Amino acid sequence: MTTTLTRPTDPPLTGAVLGRDLEPVEDLARLAARGDLPRLVEQIRRTGGCANPVNLWGSKTIRHLPTGLVLSEYSTADEPGGRLKVACGNRRATRCPTCSQTYAADTYHLIRAGLVGDQTKDVPATVRDCPRVFATLTAPSFGPVHNRPDTGCCRCGKQHPKGAPALGSPLDPERYDYAHAVLWNNWASELWRRFTIYLRRELAKASGLTRRDFDATVKLAFGKVAEYQRRGAVHFHAVIRLDGADAPGTTPPAWATVSLLDRAIRSAARAVTVPLDAAGPHPARVLRWGEQVDVRPVRAFGDGSEITEQAVASYVAKYATKAAEVTDSVDRRLHSLGALADYDLPDHTRRLIETCWELDDAYPERLLAHWSHMLGFRGHFSSKSPRYSTTLGALRQARVDYRAQQAHEELRERLLAAGLPDLDDLEHDGETLVLAHWVFAGQGHTPGESVLAATIAEQIQHNRTAAREERLSLLQDREEEQAWTAC
CB of 225 to Zn ion, least distance (A): 20
Question: What is the rounded CA–CA span in Å between residue 384 and residue 220?
Answer: 11
Distance CA 205, CA 187 (A): 27
96 binds Zn ion (CB under 5 A): yes
Q: Which of the stretches 86-94, 273-281, 333-341, 434-442 binds Zn ion when contact is defined by CB under 5 A?
A: 86-94
457 lines the binding site for Zn ion (CB under 5 A): no
Contact (CB, 8 A) for 54 and 443? yes
Q: Pick the closest to residue 22 from 403, 450, 427, 334 (CA basis).
A: 450
Q: Report the nearest approach of Zn ion to the CB of residue 149 (Å).
A: 10
Interface with Zn ion includes 44 (CB under 5 A)? no
Which residue in the set 91, 146, 219, 237 belongs to the binding site for Zn ion (CB under 5 A)? 146
Counting contacts by CB under 5 A, is residue 156 touching Zn ion? yes
Q: How far is the CB of 45 from Zn ion (least distance, A)?
A: 13
Residue 145 to residues 11, 148, 237, 296, 434: CA-CA distances in angstroms?
52, 10, 22, 26, 62
| 469 neighbors 41 (Cβ within 8 angstroms) | no
Q: How far is the CB of 33 from Zn ion (least distance, A)?
A: 27
How many residues contact Zn ion, by CB under 5 A?
8
3-state secondary structure (DSSP) of residue 162:
coil
Q: Which is nearer to Zn ion, 153 or 472 (CB)?
A: 153
- Minimum distance, C-beta of residue 41 to Zn ion, in the bound complex (Å): 17
Residue among 63 and 146 whose Cβ is closer to Zn ion: 146
Our CA dihedral for 470, 475, 477, 483, rounded to 10 degrees, sits at -170
Output the smallest distance, CB 156 to Zn ion, in A.
Answer: 3
List the one residue from 28, 31, 40, 50 that touches Zn ion (CB under 5 A). Answer: 50
Q: Toward Zn ion, which CB reaches closer, 385 or 446? A: 446
Enter the DSSP assignment of 119. Answer: G
Beta bridge partners of 84: 56
99 binds Zn ion (CB under 5 A): yes
- Asked if residue 88 binds Zn ion (CB under 5 A), the reply is yes
Q: Where are the alpha helices (DSSP H) in 35-129?
A: 37-46, 97-116
From 96-104, 122-130, 246-254, 275-283, span contacting Zn ion (CB under 5 A): 96-104
Question: Angle, to 10 degrees, between the axis of helix 97-116 and the axis of helix 392-417?
Answer: 100
Binding site for Zn ion (CB under 5 A): 50, 87-88, 96, 99, 146, 154, 156
